[in-house]
Structure formats: C-alpha cells, structure tokens
Amino acid sequence: MTDDTGLNLFQQQEANRRRTVWLVIAFVLFFAWLGFGGDFAYWLATSDAPPDTYHHTFPWFGLIMTAIGAGIAWYGFSTGPNKVLWSTGAVKLENPQTDKERQLVNVVEEMAIAAGISRPDIWIVPDPDPNAFATGLDQSRSHIAVTQGLLDICSRDELQSVVAHELGHVKNLDVRLMTTLAALVGAVALMHDGVGRLLASGGRIGGGGGSRGGGKGKGGGLVVIVVLVLWVISWILAPIIAQFLAMAVSRKREYLADAMGAQFTRNPMALASALTKIEAADAPTTSIKRGAAHLCIADPLGRRANLREGGLSDLFATHPPMAARIARLKGMAYQRLKAEGQFPAA
C-alpha cells in the first residue's frame, strides 16, 4: 500500500473517494457471496433429491442478500454520521451555556477558517475520559465531537490543536471513508449476531426431503461440505475482517491529521501536550464503542496493541503509538523554532 503521507491534499481527497467506492463495492460483493454461495451449496445438496421434493434451482438467497448488501451500504453511507453520533450519546451544542462550551465554539470557528472549510456542527459526548472524533460525508456536511473530559482538562491552545487535528480529517475526506467504514462494520456485526442467534436456536441451512446420498454421490457430497464450510467461515470471519480493515484505514491517517493540525495552529507542541494528557487518562472512553473506535483521536478502548509499532500491533492497533505521535510533533516544533532562528545552527 502506498504511504498516504507522500500524497498532496487533492491526491488524498481523491484517494479517499476512490477507497470509499471500493469499500462499498467490496461490501456488496461480500453479501452477494453469502447469498449465492448458499444458493450453490443448497443446489448441490438438492440436485439428486427425489423428483417430488424441493430442488433449489433459482438463486433466491443470492438476489436477496445482494439487495440487502446494497441497501445497507446505501443506508450506512447516507446516515452513517448520524448513527455514529447517536451511538456515542453525543449532544449537539447549539446554545453554549458555560465558558468551556463558548470557548469550544470559538475554537471550532477559528480552525474551520484556518482549514478553509465550512464550520462543522459541534457535539459534546457526556463522558469523563478525554477524547474527540470527527464524522461526516464531506467538508460541507461534517461534525466534530469532543468529550466532556477533554473540555475539562485541556487549555485553550490544547483544545484548539485537537480540533485542528479533527478538521484535518475533514479536509482530507478521511471522515467519509472512516464513517462509511464504521457504518458497514456495525452492519456486519449485526448480521453476524443475527445469524449466530439463528444457528444457536436450532435453525438449519437447507430444507428437508433431500436424498440420503445427496449432492451427486460422494464427490458431490464433498463439494457440498467444502462450499458449506467456506460459507460458514465467511460468516464467522466477517466481523473480524471488518475490524482489521477499520484498523488499517485509521493508523496512517492519524499521523497525517497530526501534521495538518500542527499546520493549522502553527503550534505542534500544543497538540503534543494534549495527546500527553489524553494518554495519561486512567479509564477508557466508555461512551464510544468498538465500531467507532477508529474515528477517535485516541483509542477509546485503551488496547495494548496501540502502544507499539510493527508485528501484531500493525494488525490489531487502531492508532499508532501515542509516544511516536508525540515525538513527531516535538520534532516538528524543534524544526519550526530552528527555522525561525531560535536555535543555533549545528
């Protein structure tokens, strides 16, 4: 995969549009496989059944599952931002009542101007753990949400840097890809849970009345078993694969959003300080669940995989290590001060 940090803004935006399209196509094709794969297994299982019993010849499952996949993809894309905000219990900030809330509104307005985008809607998640995320479909339809815990611990400069980071995601159109992914991950998880409950309650795949030999003899019976096993494994692995995809999408984008946030504020040390406070928080962000974890500035689940790079961390981590992000930001601050002549040349 090409390293996204080597692309300019317009290339980033086009890459995210393209990846969103491919993500939706892959999602629909996966549902098509679940349907047509079931049709194929059922056809093999009933092909040698007696004439007076059911023969599965029309691909009902495939057509229905493909239609369901397309419908979920469309619904997830169009309503994803609202579903993400609803799942976190976020409350829209329309009439700020406290100094902290008024400060948040001012900061978002300032950073939207610096980023050259429309001011996003502002939401507060009633959670004491410091965190933040952005969601939306494009630069004119975006939302930024911060937890109450973030408002409580951050200075104005630190809050400004966190908001700038999230607006970096908005400007890059990361939010479109990551919000669509969050919606589809949630849909896969729901479908997986539903099928799991069906199987656990004694539901069967396939109908009665088939021949005892079924599926064209021993060779055909083996093909039925292989197809059926692959079909069941697909159901089992679907939410795991979706989670891995969400993790891979998120990691490199955090470094880029950090850099853009530092660019918008011209103060990388403020973001380094904010990330240090976020990392030092004791508890996970309980209001933000697994399906939306990749949207946040810091992993809301507090998983150990996010503490290092390489190996299994590249598979299981939603975010790059906080220490590495802070070190990069401090390096940016040093280079900026050196360029301004505040450090002597080596």
Checking if the pLDDT of 44 tops 90, the result is no
Count of structural domains, the chain: 1
Main-chain dihedrals φ then ψ at residue 119, nearest 5 degrees: -65, 125
Q: What is the pLDDT of residue 185?
A: 72
> Is 328 part of a structural domain of the chain?
no
Beta bridge partner(s), residue 92: 123
Q: What's the pLDDT band for 283 if we cut at 50, 70, 90?
A: confident
Of 181 and 208, the one with more pLDDT: 181
Q: What distance in Å separates the CA atoms of residue 297 and residue 276, rounded to the nearest whole number? A: 12
Q: What distance in Å separates the CA atoms of residue 215 and residue 112, rounded to the nearest whole number? A: 63
The Cα-based distances of 267 to 2, 117, 131, 199, 331 in angstroms read: 28, 20, 19, 55, 12
Strand order in the sheet with 121-125: 91-92, 121-125, 141-147, 132-138
Among 94, 109, 110, 166, the one annotated catalytic: 166
> Is 324 part of a structural domain of the chain?
no
**Residue carrying structure tokens 């004694």:** 202
Checking if the pLDDT of 293 tops 70, the result is yes
Candidates 293, 305, 319, 256; CA nearest to 129 is: 293
Q: What is the pLDDT of residue 162?
A: 97
> Is 211 part of a structural domain of the chain?
yes
- Active-site residue, 166 included: yes
> Is 253 part of a structural domain of the chain?
no
> Is 40 part of a structural domain of the chain?
yes
> Is 251 part of a structural domain of the chain?
no
Q: What is the pLDDT of residue 256?
A: 85
Winning range, highest mean pLDDT, from 4-13, 33-42, 237-246: 33-42
Q: What is the pLDDT of residue 111?
A: 96
> Is 64 part of a structural domain of the chain?
yes
> Is 14 part of a structural domain of the chain?
yes
Domain extent for 75:
4-87+177-235
Residues 6+ apart with CB under 8 A from 197: none
